[in-house]
Amino acid sequence: MKGNLIVFEGVEGCGKTTQMQLCSQWLNSRGVSVVLTREPGGTELGKDLRRLLLEKSEDKPVSEITELLLYAADRAQHIEQEIKPSLAEGKYILCDRYTDSTIAYQGYGRGLDMSLIKQLNDIATGGLESDLTIWLDVDVEVGLARKKGQSKLDRIEAEKIDFHHRVQQGYTELAVNYPDRIVRVDGSLSQELVHKKIQEILIRNAPFGRASLT
């Protein structure tokens, strides 16, 4: 695979979407063409799965294992239809969430079996890991307050606060366990500073990729 897969992760309201936009504009201004995508919802099928996963409806409960399998299905489709072809063309992919989300949310958050999650992640991705994962670390309460100010909370955002704290714990442990792949950025800094830090990280890590960022 020739391209780069850069993933953005974090709890609700951590600022991923804004930072991915800024990062994409910055890369474009350096002549790097970027694919912006996300999980769930990076494909046409995935958009339907995203709706099913995030819609909050009392009449349509989603069991925990169903939730896990739907995220895995979304990922499998995304890998085949979007990620692999884009990497093969040498593209720079910025992806909003990937396998670490499943470990943090379904593993730490829901308490589902970690070896099953890892197995499903492997099946869905064929073992393809991100080249780099940027973890935007913000306090759960701060992130949720940002979300509440923006729109109605979806099914996962509306989970109890303890759930979100377990997810945060998941990211914290993932960052300790995979220091070569996951880089923490303090997401409580100003938008400009966070963007600057991400630029520095990408420039520093550019040798792992083919695109020259300097």
Q: What angle do CA 145, 147, 149 make, to 5 degrees?
A: 70
Site string for ligand TMP, 44-73 (x = CB under 6 A): ---------------------------x--
d(CA 188, CA 10): 12
Site string for ligand TMP, 130-169 (x = CB under 6 A): --------------------------xx------------
Give, as ranges, the residues between 98 and 137 that touch ligand TMP (CB under 6 A).
Answer: 101-102, 105-106
Q: Is 96 in the site for ligand TMP (CB under 6 A)?
A: yes
Q: Is 97 in the site for ligand TMP (CB under 6 A)?
A: yes
First-to-last alpha carbon distance for the chain, in angstroms, is: 22
User: Are 97 and 39 within 8 A, CB to CB?
Assistant: yes
Indicate the residue whose CB is closest to ligand TMP: 105
How many residues sit in the footprint of ligand TMP (CB under 6 A)?
Answer: 13
Contacts of 13 (CB under 8 A, 6+ apart): 138, 142, 143, 144, 145, 146, 147
d(CA 70, CA 53): 7
Q: Single out the residue of 8, 34, 35, 39 in contact with ligand TMP (rule: CB under 6 A).
A: 39
Q: Is 201 in the site for ligand TMP (CB under 6 A)?
A: no
Residue 30 C-beta: closest distance to ligand TMP, Å: 26
DSSP notation for 111-140: ---HHHHHHHHHHHHTTPPPSEEEEEE--H
Q: Single out the residue of 3, 40, 42, 209 in contact with ligand TMP (rule: CB under 6 A).
A: 40
The piece of 35-43, 124-132, 139-147, 196-204 that touches ligand TMP (CB under 6 A) is 35-43
Q: Is 197 in the site for ligand TMP (CB under 6 A)?
A: no
d(CA 204, CA 180): 13
The piece of 38-46, 126-134, 171-179, 188-196 that touches ligand TMP (CB under 6 A) is 38-46
User: Are 198 and 135 within 8 A, CB to CB?
Assistant: no
Residue 168 C-beta: closest distance to ligand TMP, Å: 12
d(CA 63, CA 68): 9
Contacts of 63 (CB under 8 A, 6+ apart): none
| Binding residues for ligand TMP (CB under 6 A) | 12, 38-40, 71, 96-97, 101-102, 105-106, 156-157
